[in-house]
Every structure is written in structure tokens, then in C-alpha cells.
Amino acid sequence: MSKLTRNEFAKQFQRFIDKYDRFLLSGHIRPDGDSIGVCYSLGYALEQMGKEVLVCLDGNADRYLKLIRPLPLLPEDVEVKDASRYFKTGKTFAFIMLDCSEPERTGRAADAILYASASLTIDHHVTSKEAADFNYTEPESSSTCELLYHLMKLCSIPVNREIATALYMGVSFDTGGLRHSNTSADTYQMASDLKRLGVDTTYLTNQLFHTKSMTEMKALSSAIRSSKIYHGVSRDGEKNDILISYLSQAEMSRCGFSAQDADGVVGYLNEIEDAETAIFLREIGPDQIRANMRSKSVVDVARVASLFGGGGHVRAAGCTFQDPPLLVKQKLLEAIRLQLSDLQEEA
């Protein structure tokens, strides 16, 4: 997607981090394991170089932050235009967007691109767009953490155990524990390298994928009860059916959990055998529905999400609607069935 090669961008990246002394880092809104992993691994590396780092988060990330060392955060009640006051060594700063490339997808940090001395993006989403002064996107990488790891090697940036732990958290999260179709031979090699650096891969895997709170389990139970299978378009003799689950704010409140507790539900819904595609819909406001989508091997959910202003990966994506839930279901079903029909015709 990017015009530069990885080697060419690595030189640009090296010049960028050498030029500035203070950095504001931000991932995307509702940060996940890759977003946090890449922000913190780069933050640790910059600190190792004697740079000052400030991280701007929009959304609860406690699940991931408890696994790694904290970095200085821009306080939640402070606007990004005032971020310069929170650097100890000076007022000017450079802004780096990680795991997203559109400023609006960072949430709180959206205007940082206006106040920073310069801006740079490192991303791997197929729906990525260029908005910073310097941009690099590599959809072939399993995660932004994998991409950053290769850039660090090209720039001869030492990777210690702390950096390696944050990197592994990100690459593991975005590959579902090294089992999704985006896991390549390079991904396995990276995981092996990080393991040799002392990363406790067993602990991280258990924390990321096999440890749930009681409220998270309640959310999963409710989502399964509300799920329904819809007929997809058959292709090569296979039924590419679509599972959709919807939970209203009233239902979540009645069952004793929040929308945040339901963040990981869609991944489990996608394990249901009968569905090629799983969609989890949550009401997050009046006629405001958040849709998270996963697919096993056929449907490009990033393409579906992009139709409605969202984005993500080929097998994992999301978007937000300002529509009633029944209309949201109808729109998504039509988009997926149309894509399946196109694939059937191509086949």
C-alpha cells in the first residue's frame, strides 16, 4: 500500500526519531492488544534512546496495561492541544500514530497532528489512509507490532525483554495467539526471537485469551443467547452462513455488565461452527450501534466495514451505525451476501 519499501521507510523513521526529543504516541480509539503493544514497545525504545514519551489513550486499556510497565499518560481531562505542558524537557513534540493512520480514529489525539512539530504513521490495516507528514502502511504484516519489530531491526534499535514483551502482546493479540490466517512464517520467527529474549509467552497467552472476569462471561452468555444464524450464499458446496448477536444497553444493564465487558465477545462467536461470519452488535447510545465482525476464511469484513465508515483487517473489522438495530442487521446482511454472490460468480 505504501509507496516506500520497508527499507526506505526505515531510513525515514530513523531520521524522524533522531531529529526530535519529545514524542506523543497514540493508537486508535478503544485500544486493543496491538495498539497498546506497539505504543508501549516504541515508547520503551524511545526512552532507551534518552527521549521523552507521553502516551495518549482513548478508552479503557487496563486489560493490557496490567501486563507491561506504565508510561506517562496524558491525563484524561486534558485536551491534546495542551499536551506540550506535560513534557518536562521542553514544549515542542513530534506525534506518532500507531496501528491507525486517520487522526479521527485516535479519538482524543485527533488534533495532535495540528499541534505537533511533525507527524508520522505506522500501520498495517488494509483500510489505512495517509494523513501524517510521513506514512507507512504494510497490510501484509500480521500486526503493527510485527511491522515495528522489523523496523527496529533495520534501524539497529536494541530490543530488550521489556520491549519484547510489549511486542509479543501485540502480535499475539492480532493473530489470536498465532492461529489466525494472518500469521506468517515471519510472524513465527518473530515470536521465536522474542521468546529467546525472555518473554513469558505462556503467561501472556493465558492473560490475553484464557482469563475472563465474571462480567465478561455474563456478556458472552447473553450474546450467545441472543444470537441467530442467517443464511448466506453457498459457494463451492459450503454454506457461508452469518451469525448476528445484538445486545441493547437495557439488556446489558439488566444482566450486570457493560459494553466494555463485551469487547471480546465477537471472537468467541466466530468459533461457532455453523457461521462463516460472526457479527456482534452493541447499543452504545440512542440509535448508535457498534458492530464488530469476524470471519473464518471467505468474507472480507474490512471491505464490509469500509462501506459504513469503519475499517480493520480482512478477518476482523468494525464500524459504528446511527441506525436502529434491525436496519443495521439488514445493511450488514445485504453487504455480506452481495460480497458472497460476487465471490461465487468469480469462482
CATH number of the domain that 172 lies in?
3.90.1640.10
**In a shared domain, residues 179 and 302:** no
- Expressed as residue numbers, the domain containing 33 is 6-209
Strands 119-123 and 134-137: parallel
Instruction: Specify if 1 maps to a domain.
Output: no
**Count of residues making up the chain:** 347
pLDDT digits 0-9 by tens, 162-200: 999 999 999 999 999 998 889 999 999 999 999 999 999
Coil/strand/helix, residue 279: strand
Q: Residue 328: pLDDT above 90?
A: yes
C-alpha 160/C-alpha 158 separation (Å) is: 6
**In a shared domain, residues 219 and 200:** no
In the chain, the amino acid numbered 213 is S
pLDDT digits 0-9 by tens, 255-285: 998 888 888 899 999 999 989 999 999 998 8
**In a shared domain, residues 140 and 21:** yes
Confidence tier at 343 by pLDDT (50, 70, 90):
confident
**In a shared domain, residues 296 and 168:** no
**In a shared domain, residues 178 and 54:** yes
**In a shared domain, residues 74 and 160:** yes
C-alpha 117/C-alpha 324 separation (Å) is: 42
Say how many C-beta atoms besides its own lie within 10 A of residue 166's C-beta: 31
**In a shared domain, residues 103 and 205:** yes
Structural domains in the chain (count)? 2
pLDDT digits 0-9 by tens, 44-90: 999 999 999 999 999 999 999 999 999 999 999 999 999 999 999 99
Q: Residue 347: pLDDT above 70?
A: no
- In what helix (H) or strand (E) does residue 37 lie, and over which residues does it extend? helix 33-48
Domain finish residue from 159, 176, 209: 209
**Mean pLDDT along residues 109-130:** 92
**In a shared domain, residues 192 and 233:** no
**pTM of the full predicted structure?**
0.88
**In a shared domain, residues 78 and 196:** yes
**In a shared domain, residues 309 and 336:** yes
**In a shared domain, residues 205 and 232:** no
**Mean pLDDT along residues 125-138:** 88
Name the DSSP letter for residue 229: E
Percent of the chain with pLDDT over 70: 97
**Mean pLDDT along residues 300-314:** 92
- 146 φ/ψ angles, rounded to the nearest 5 degrees: -65, -45
**Mean pLDDT along residues 307-321:** 91
C-alpha 83/C-alpha 75 separation (Å) is: 9
**In a shared domain, residues 171 and 285:** no
C-alpha 231/C-alpha 261 separation (Å) is: 29
Domain harbouring 260, CATH code = 3.10.310.30
Based on DSSP, count helices (H) and strands (E) in the chain, helices before strands: 13, 11
Name the DSSP letter for residue 67: T
Domain finish residue from 178, 209, 240: 209
Domain finish residue from 182, 209, 236: 209
